[in-house]
């Protein structure tokens, strides 16, 4: 049907209007798009260019080189060595189990390392490399490279790993490093990104842990080009980080090695301290362990052997353990009495073998008694009754104050793990910690280093150093950091009466050099190096009245863990003191028989700087000492190799 001209004109007008409207809308949209494009391309150009660059380029961390540890003479204690490792990228491997099976036919894979690697793969991004075998040989690397076409996702890599060339000698001092754990990260409020690098190592115990901030260094960075899923395509540039600080310790590696060999399998500890500077020349705990085994994760079997050993090789006994000091504490009691003007050196006390105080009988170690005892005789022969009598006169507050002045009951600033403060108890302490009042029997026990009194071998060395010098000598373990010397710790005057100190030192000299002295059997014959010391024996069990009446069971007839601890402290040379020594032998029996001979040998070794001549020993001991020196020399010659084993 044909439209009329009028209808056609009306239709044309409608189409024209719609065309105009549509064209206007299109023009508006084009204008808006143009303005938006101009905004993005011109006004926001820099921002979008930056975003594009960030999508294309990633910043990766480069682990820093850890600082090394040296002894006082420059001998290496801890260093870094190139370490070959085999890594696997999960997404490139495809069938991970099949690839690992093929790899295990080429090189030996440790089961514990493999299990750790599998766990790491599960929680890491699929394109990140995970170490499946560490510290492998060059032959292992060669076999992997030759068979690489059959090992998708497997790569050989080289990095740095911590090694301890001296092995067991410095395990309790230097400590060891290990991979960062979740527990380690939890200690930081805002962990550094470098700590999240897979298998990054940090200090776990000892100097390695306590000086982590110095030793770790600062990570470097590298810019790498990555694709859309984050896989590295190429490295664009890098900025190397700062290596950790090298640290020099005060310990003499040769002396430390001798001490460890001399202690043998004993559960014991030795501290040798320089009186001028406070330097710890040796600080050894026995038995020890190889720290290299911990670097990459010790096996469950190896760790169980260490953990279950009753002689506790993992414990740093020199600073971590606290023992009743026994008779080595008697110098504290006598100095407290002298300082309070309660006695004179000539005053005597009658010792019949016991003393009754407040309805209780306190026994002397010598059942028949010592007779009349003055200060010098009481220390020389270690008469307990003399000190029981002093305890009643001087009181616990004076004794505790003197103990603290001499370095007991406080934690010293040495970078080792779990440093104990020991205990120099007083009335407030018992009321606060035990909810009970102090009684006179507590003071009597404290006067001979029993009861609540506890000290570490390090504290005993400090006490002896302060007795020898009259100064507040404190221990120093770090000699320098990156070549910059740390402050010496020779200390200031303690303010004690020098005459009182001389009287105590003279009595200690008698302990080692008078025929009636408890350490006469371990004396030094060489006049220039004669020592002044004090024996100690601390009980670890109660002796009942019934047992005392029948005769106290000897240590040799008791199980090892119920025997008394043996202690000895000394300084030498007597005329011009250079070093202080403290020895504790756990369950060793008597201080005169177990601890004093070790202290004498260590003292001579430290003063001579090598095996001392036999003439320095009593004539009756020289044959035995010659045999001992030969045996220890052979053992020490074998020691350096133990630190090179694969961990």
Q: What is the pLDDT of residues 629-642, one digit of tens each?
A: 999 999 888 755 44
CATH 3.30.160: does it fit domain 83-161? Answer: no
Residue range 396-404: mean pLDDT, rounded = 98
Report residue 333's pLDDT band, with 50, 70 and 90 as the boundaries: very high
Highest mean pLDDT among 52-61, 144-153, 239-248, 325-334: 325-334
In whole angstroms, what is the distance from residue 219 CA to residue 241 CA?
5
Q: Is 280 helix (H, G, I), strand (E, B) or coil?
A: strand
Please report, rounded to a whole number, the percentage of residues in the chain having pLDDT higher than 70. 89
Identify the pLDDT of residue 19: 66
Nearest partner of 595 among 530, 520, 536, 507, judged by Cα: 536
Please report, rounded to a whole number, the percentage of residues in the chain having pLDDT higher than 90. 63
Looking at every residue in the chain, the average pLDDT score rounds to 89
**pLDDT tens profile 536-581:** 999 877 776 666 667 777 877 788 888 999 999 999 999 999 999 9
Report residue 44's pLDDT band, with 50, 70 and 90 as the boundaries: low
Distant-in-sequence, close-in-space partners of 17: CB < 8 Å, separation ≥ 6: none
Distant-in-sequence, close-in-space partners of 588: CB < 8 Å, separation ≥ 6: 266, 268, 563, 564, 565, 566, 594, 595
User: Any idea which of 4-13, 80-89, 119-128, 243-252 has the lowest mean pLDDT?
Assistant: 4-13
Distant-in-sequence, close-in-space partners of 114: CB < 8 Å, separation ≥ 6: 100, 132
Nearest partner of 330 among 618, 533, 170, 616, judged by Cα: 533
Q: CA of 640: how far to CAs of 75, 290, 589, 643, in Å?
A: 12, 12, 32, 6
Q: CA of 538: how far to CAs of 392, 455, 541, 555, 564, in Å?
A: 21, 11, 9, 12, 6
Identify the pLDDT of residue 642: 41
HSE-CB at 218 with a 13 A cutoff on CA atoms is 4
In whole angstroms, what is the distance from residue 271 CA to residue 255 CA?
11
Identify the pLDDT of residue 263: 97
Identify the pLDDT of residue 110: 80
Classify domain 253-303+316-479+494-644 at the CATH superfamily level.
Answer: DD-peptidase/beta-lactamase superfamily (3.40.710.10)
Identify the pLDDT of residue 46: 59
pLDDT of residue 228 exceeding 80 = no
Q: Where are the alpha helices (DSSP H) in 4-162?
A: 5-38, 45-56, 90-93, 96-106, 111-123, 138-146
Burial 188-214 (b: 16+ CB within 10 A, else e): eeeeeebeebebbbbbbbbbbbbbbeb
Regarding predicted confidence, which is higher, 452 or 97?
452
pLDDT of residue 262 exceeding 60 = yes
In whole angstroms, what is the distance from residue 274 CA to residue 579 CA?
5
Identify the pLDDT of residue 303: 92
**533: DSSP letter:** E
Identify the pLDDT of residue 645: 32
In whole angstroms, what is the distance from residue 77 CA to residue 283 CA?
14
Domain ranges of the chain: 83-161, 253-303+316-479+494-644
Residue range 435-452: mean pLDDT, rounded = 97
Q: CA of 292: how far to CAs of 5, 175, 545, in Å?
A: 105, 10, 50
Identify the pLDDT of residue 599: 98
pLDDT of residue 349 exceeding 60 = yes
Whole-prediction pTM = 0.85
Radius of gyration for the alpha carbons in the chain, expressed in angstroms and rounded? 36
Q: Is 313 helix (H, G, I), strand (E, B) or coil?
A: coil
**43: DSSP letter:** I
**pLDDT tens profile 456-506:** 999 999 999 999 999 999 999 999 999 999 999 999 999 999 999 999 999
Q: Where are the alpha helices (DSSP H) in 187-299?
A: 206-210, 212-216, 253-263
In whole angstroms, what is the distance from residue 289 CA to residue 479 CA?
25
E-strand stretches of 232-321: 232-239, 247-249, 268-274, 280-286
Phi, psi values for residue 178, rounded to 5°: -165, 170
Identify the pLDDT of residue 643: 36
**591: DSSP letter:** I
CA dihedral 205, 256, 579, 421 (to 10 degrees): 20
Residue range 596-625: mean pLDDT, rounded = 97
**pLDDT tens profile 171-221:** 999 999 988 888 888 888 788 888 877 678 899 999 999 999 999 998 888
Q: What is the number of other CB atoms lying within 10 angstroms of the CB of residue 441?
A: 15
């Amino acid at each position: 049907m044909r439209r009329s001209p009028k209808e056609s004109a009306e239709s044309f007008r409608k189409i024209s209007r719609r065309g105009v409207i549509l064209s206007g809308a299109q023009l508006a949209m084009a204008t808006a798009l143009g303005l938006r494009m101009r905004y993005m391309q011109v006004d926001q150009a820099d921002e979008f260019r930056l975003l594009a660059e960030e999508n294309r380029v990633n910043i990766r961390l480069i682990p820093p080189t850890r600082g090394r540890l040296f002894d006082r003479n420059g001998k290496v204690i801890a260093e870094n060595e190139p370490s070959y490792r085999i890594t696997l990228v999960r997404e490139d491997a495809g069938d991970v189990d099949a690839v690992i099976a093929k790899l295990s036919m080429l090189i030996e894979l440790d089961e514990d390392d493999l299990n750790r690697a599998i766990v790491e793969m599960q929680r890491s991004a699929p394109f990140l490399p995970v170490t499946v075998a560490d510290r492998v040989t060059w032959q292992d690397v060669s076999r992997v490279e030759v068979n690489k076409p059959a090992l998708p996702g497997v790569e050989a890599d080289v990095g740095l790993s911590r090694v301890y060339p001296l092995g067991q000698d410095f395990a309790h001092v230097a400590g060891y490093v290990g991979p960062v754990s979740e527990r380690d990260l939890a200690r930081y409020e805002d962990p550094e990104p470098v700590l999240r690098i897979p298998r990054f190592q940090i200090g776990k115990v000892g100097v390695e842990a306590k000086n982590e901030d110095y030793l770790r260094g600062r990570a470097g960075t590298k810019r790498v080009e990555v694709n859309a899923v984050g896989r590295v395509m190429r490295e664009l540039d890098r900025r190397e980080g700062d290596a950790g600080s090298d640290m020099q310790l005060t310990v003499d590696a040769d002396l430390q090695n001798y001490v460890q060999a001399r202690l043998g399998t004993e559960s014991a500890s030795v501290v040798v301290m320089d009186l001028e500077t406070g330097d710890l020349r040796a600080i050894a705990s026995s038995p020890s362990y190889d720290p290299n085994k911990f670097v990459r994760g010790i096996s469950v079997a190896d760790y169980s052997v260490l953990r279950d050993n009753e002689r506790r090789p993992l414990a740093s006994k020199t600073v971590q353990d606290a023992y009743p000091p026994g008779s080595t504490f008697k110098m504290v009691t006598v100095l407290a009495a002298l300082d309070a003007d309660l006695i004179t050196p000539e005053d005597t006390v009658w010792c019949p073998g016991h003393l009754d105080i407040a309805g209780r009988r306190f026994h002397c170690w010598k059942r028949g008694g010592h007779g009349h005892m003055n200060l010098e005789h009481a220390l020389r022969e270690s008469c307990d009754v003399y000190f029981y009598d002093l305890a009643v006169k001087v009181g616990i507050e004076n004794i505790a104050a003197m103990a603290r002045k001499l370095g007991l009951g406080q934690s010293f600033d040495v970078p080792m793990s779990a440093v104990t403060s020991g205990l120099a108890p007083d009335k407030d302490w018992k009321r606060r910690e035990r909810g009970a009042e102090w009684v006179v029997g507590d003071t009597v026990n404290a006067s001979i280093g029993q009861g609540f009194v506890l000290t570490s071998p390090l504290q005993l060395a400090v006490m002896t150093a302060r007795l020898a010098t009259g100064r507040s000598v404190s221990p120093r373990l770090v000699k320098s950091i990156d070549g910059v010397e740390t402050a010496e710790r020779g200390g200031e005057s303690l303010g004690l009466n020098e005459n009182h100190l001389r009287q105590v030192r003279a009595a200690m000299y008698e302990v080692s050099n008078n025929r009636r002295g408890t350490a006469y059997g371990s004396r030094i014959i060489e006049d220039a190096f004669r020592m002044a010391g004090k024996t100690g024996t601390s009980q670890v069990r109660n002796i009942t009245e019934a047992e005392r009446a029948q005769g106290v069971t000897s240590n040799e007839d008791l199980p090892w863990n119920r025997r008394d601890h043996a202690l000895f402290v000394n300084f030498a040379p007597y005329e011009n003191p250079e070093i202080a020594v403290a020895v504790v032998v756990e369950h060793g029996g008597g201080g005169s028989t177990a601890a004093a001979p070790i202290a004498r040998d260590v003292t001579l070794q430290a003063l001579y700087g090598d095996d001392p001549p036999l003439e320095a020993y009593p004539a009756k001991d020289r044959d035995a000492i010659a045999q001992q020196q030969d045996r220890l020399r052979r053992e020490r010659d074998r020691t350096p190799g133990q630190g090179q084993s694969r961990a």
